[in-house]
Amino acid sequence: MGKKKGAVFLDRDGTIIEEVNYLRHPAEIRLLPGAARALRIMQERYPLVIVTNQAGVARGYFDEQRLEEIHRHLEGLLNMEEGRLAGIYYCPHHPEAVCTSYRQECQCRKPKPGMLQAAARDLAIDLSKSYTVGDKLSDIGAGKNAGTKTILVRTGYGKEHEKQIAGSPFCPDYIADNLLAAANWILQHG
């Protein structure tokens, strides 16, 4: 078996695409400025994996079939920009879910590392050589809990979460203005 390589784990909302509260329809997807370019830069050296909490499923706002449609549309937009994803992992659970089948304390909801660990198993990824990028401290927590380096981006909720770092157990390895700045940091340090 070949040597495992690192990957870049990316939050979806507020990191790659504009933050939309409980995005419910593919037409609501808007790539953030520079995001497609950032993905093209990173994909030359790393597989790219989206890891996203999707409590909207648990809350009954949309079902997993709609979420799959949203992700297919996102992949199509990225493909048009020559961006490639190795996978998309999502957590549909929430401890206060209205849909009882999704009401649980799971290992996949960030800041727990379950989605990153599942991707590492599925895609033969070395987590210690990997990076996690997101706009929330829960993203940073998932990356830290999985053993990756972490980057907080100031897009989405990032500026708000940056102010909370001092009181958080999760301190990012780097803070970037956006995904493009994060990509450049990763390539300099990878």
pLDDT digits (tens, 9 = 90+) for 75-125: 999 999 999 999 999 999 999 888 899 999 999 999 999 999 999 999 999
Helices marked H in the chain — which ranges?
A: 35-43, 55-58, 64-80, 114-123, 137-146, 158-162, 179-189
Which residues neighbour 21 within 8 Å (Cβ) at sequence distance 6 or greater?
Answer: none
Q: What is the pLDDT of residues 127-140, one digit of tens each?
A: 999 999 999 999 99
Residues 97 and 89: beta-carbon distance below 8 Å: no
> CA-CA distances (angstroms) from residue 142 to 5, 38, 84, 151?
19, 21, 22, 11
Model-level pTM?
A: 0.96
CATH for 8-188 is 3.40.50.1000
Q: What is the pLDDT of residues 16-74, one digit of tens each?
A: 999 998 999 999 999 999 999 999 999 999 999 999 999 999 999 999 999 999 999 99
Quick one: angle between helices 137-146 and 114-123, nearest 10? Answer: 50
Look at the block and give the residue holding tokens 């995904």: 179
2 pLDDT higher than 70: no
Q: Which residues are catalytic?
A: 11, 13
